[in-house]
Amino acid sequence: MKEWFKNLVGKKAEPEEPKKKPSSKKKSPKEIATEKGEPYIEVITLDIDAKNPSQGAFELEWNELFVKELRDAGYQGTTDEEIVDIWFQTVCRNVAMAEWEDYDNQVGPNKFVQKNPIGEGRSEIK
């Protein structure tokens, strides 16, 4: 008998461990952040009205940790959606205010808002 065969005779086969199937689903950035215990917010889509490009909508995705962070910062609302909406409106308002403060230094015509000085440090907005 061959030596290698003698070593096999009389031995019980060890049960094979089940092979783990590779995960076919890649984790999303939201899932990764949540597993790490980190707040997460992302703009998923931005829709612009082709006929009126100053109109549009954002679709946001967030995790519970982001909402908790907003609550801790003083944002209030009855639902997570309401809290995130209030936060997003605040961000948009702050961006608009920063742009408005720098209005006189902007380059190019602004066809949506006209600012005309009327004297004594005042301006008329149309």
Instruction: Tell me what pLDDT residue 18 has.
Output: 63
Position 86 in a domain? yes
Distances (CA, A) of 69 to 21, 38, 80, 87: 37, 10, 11, 11
Of 59 and 110, which is predicted with more confidence?
Answer: 59
The answer to pTM > 0.85 is no
Residue 117 half-sphere exposure toward CB, CA atoms < 13 A: 5
Q: Longest C-alpha distance within the chain, in Å? A: 111
Position 19 in a domain? no
Of 36 and 111, which is predicted with more confidence?
Answer: 36
Position 23 in a domain? no
Question: What is the tally of structural domains in the chain?
Answer: 1
DSSP letter, residue 79: S
Position 76 in a domain? yes
The residue range of the domain holding 89 is 28-103
Cβ proximity of 83 and 76 under 8 Å: yes
Q: How far apart are CA 2 and CA 82, in angstroms?
A: 77
